[in-house]
Amino acid sequence: MASSTVNRVGLDAHTAVIKRWGWLLPSFSDAAFLIPIVVFFSCTTGVKWLLGDSDTGWHIRTGEWILKNRHVPATDLFSFTKNGQTWFAWEWLSDLTMGWLHSHGGLSAVVFAAFVILCTTSLVVYRAAAAASGHRRCSLLRAGRAGTQFTPARILSGARTKRSPRKCWSPAS
């Protein structure tokens, strides 16, 4: 009888601590939001890796050109071999966004926006996967993987990853 009383008192004390201080503990959603940041700074070279995609510079320069000239370019502006030939700026809105961010906050603003989008993507994937499967831990792993697949040029332009979605989401990959 004495041991069950001790366990009950200990459990009540633990429950009281959780009720009082439990709001300080991160939720699975908080973890899903922060996973891309943790992965980038612990498993890669951080921002240097994010900016390893050379398309980021093209997007920024095209965006700055759009801001300056107030229209989307119809000819290739930057190529040496195809200068002046017909060109389609499919990602003009993201170019515009990256150009604006760069002109108002430099490369730091572009990287910060990319991190916000990565973290938000990870959170959305986590919540959708958890709602569909009911497995919060597995959903957290999937969200972390989804949130670390892209670079700023791919994030802000909506470009697809080189992997097929099936391979990216399959358990065996």
**Helix and strand totals (H; E) in the chain:** 8, 0
Largest Cα span, the chain = 89
Spatial separation of the C-alpha atoms in residues 35 and 141, rounded to whole Å: 9
CB 110 within 8 A of CB 63: no
| Cβ(59)–Cβ(156) below 8 Å | yes
The CA-to-CA distance between both ends of the chain, in Å, stands at: 53
- What are the structural domain ranges in the chain? 26-169
pLDDT in tens, the chain (173 residues): 444 444 555 556 667 766 776 667 677 888 888 887 787 777 766 677 777 777 888 889 999 999 999 999 888 887 778 777 888 878 889 899 999 999 999 998 998 898 888 888 888 888 888 888 888 888 887 777 776 665 555 555 555 444 444 443 444 44
Collapsed DSSP state (helix, strand, coil) of residue 86: strand
Is the pTM higher than 0.75?
no
